[in-house]
Amino acid sequence: MNVTYESTKQETPAAVESESPTTPGAGAIMRTEDLNVFYGTFRAVEDVTIEFADREITALIGPSGCGKSTVLRSLNRMNDLIPGARVEGGVFFHGRSIYEPGVDPVEVRRRVGMVFQKPNPFPKSIYENVAWGARINGFRGSRSDLDDLVENALTQAALWDEVKDKLNESGYSLSGGQQQRLCIARALAPSPEVLLMDEPCSALDPIATLRIEELMLDLKEEYTIIIVTHNMQQAGRVSDRTAFFSVDVDDRGQRTGKLVEFDQTEKLFTSPSRKETEDYITGRFG
């Protein structure tokens, strides 16, 4: 069953206008409220409340096991695909819970797309890789319309000029950086509003990484981007806001992720408010 969300141009909720560091100044397109994610009985993240501003880039950083990827996957219900995964608390997209009954997770993932750590093109042509994204989301247009959509997505992903003469060649024929941009084009094809990126550059060389970062800065004109990265310099270069997650370890050695600090990226990297953030980003404790 499909579900309709309210327009992105809705009135800014009162809560968004507060000066809280966890609150973006612009309108929030997504937010979590006391989000807890469990894998079986294991609580992976605890009570995460955060808002993601429309057409901004938000970076999620923190040590391994802090739950940042878990939070990211909860934003388009990718955790549903993991047996035993369960969510408590809320994830809201345009003010509506994406976990409430009647919400179609496929529609959620169309509106909130995802790019993964390793470039993962399908064993198909460059053209088909992009067209697939549109087709599985019910694209009904003509071949010419599909051609336009593929060109548009590849152009937005800054790949068109490099592949326009070899659209029928395999996606695997491209370099790693090009493959990742192909995956971004595939994610853009269904016209999402939010793009989730899970360490999208960790398998790429520095030049390919910088190209993806430039692309992200272009894409934020039209999309909201939420990126998980282990590279703090990358968070500094691309993001408007940064959320720092850390891990609590209980008496039994159980590790639970938590949101420690969320602020403007400049503020977080020059004068973080929390000592845990300071210690982590300066490498005093790791």
Partner 1 sequence: MSETRSAFHQEIEDLERTLLGVADQAELMVRKAVAAFTEGRLDLAQQVIADDDEIDRTYLEVHNRWMNLMALQQPVASDLRQMSMLLHMNTTLERMGDQCVNISKMALATEGLPRVEVIRERLQEMSDLVRAMIRAGIESVVRRDADEARLLPAMDEPVDRLNRNMYQEVVSAGPDPKRLEWATKAMMVSRALERVGDQVVDIGEQLAFLLTGEMAEFDDVGFSDV
Smallest distance, partner 1 to C-beta of residue 279, A: 8
- The smaller minimum CB distance to partner 1, of residues 7 and 270, is found at 270
Smallest distance, partner 1 to C-beta of residue 254, A: 17
The interaxial angle of helices 206-219 and 176-188, nearest 10 deg, is 20
Q: Which of residues 236, 238, 243, 260 is near partner 1 by CB under 8 A?
A: 236
Q: Applying CB under 8 A, which part among 20-28, 75-83, 231-239, 250-258 lies near partner 1?
A: 231-239
- The smaller minimum CB distance to partner 1, of residues 179 and 265, is found at 265
Q: Which residues from 264-283 bind partner 1, rule CB under 8 A?
A: 269-272, 277-278, 281-283
Q: Applying CB under 8 A, which part among 118-126, 165-173, 198-206, 230-238 lies near partner 1?
A: 230-238
Size of the site for partner 1 (CB under 8 A): 15
Residue 284 sits in the site that holds partner 1 (CB under 8 A): yes
Closest to 66 (Cα-Cα) out of 235, 276, 265, 268: 276
- The smaller minimum CB distance to partner 1, of residues 173 and 233, is found at 233
Cα separation, 75 vs 98, in Å, equals 8
Cα separation, 134 vs 150, in Å, equals 9
Closest to 174 (Cα-Cα) out of 234, 110, 120: 120
- The smaller minimum CB distance to partner 1, of residues 252 and 284, is found at 284
Residue 62 sits in the site that holds partner 1 (CB under 8 A): no
- The smaller minimum CB distance to partner 1, of residues 54 and 213, is found at 213
Q: Which of residues 12, 20, 233, 254 is near partner 1 by CB under 8 A?
A: 233
* x/- letters, 91..120, toward partner 1 (CB under 8 A): ------------------------------
Paired sense of beta strands 241-249 and 255-264, if any:
antiparallel
Residue 2 sits in the site that holds partner 1 (CB under 8 A): no
In contact, 64 and 92? CB cutoff 8 Å:
no
Q: Which of residues 232, 255, 258, 264 is near partner 1 by CB under 8 A?
A: 232
- The smaller minimum CB distance to partner 1, of residues 92 and 280, is found at 280
The count of other CB atoms within 10 Å of the CB of residue 50 is 23
Binding site for partner 1 (CB under 8 A): 232-233, 236, 269-272, 277-278, 281-286
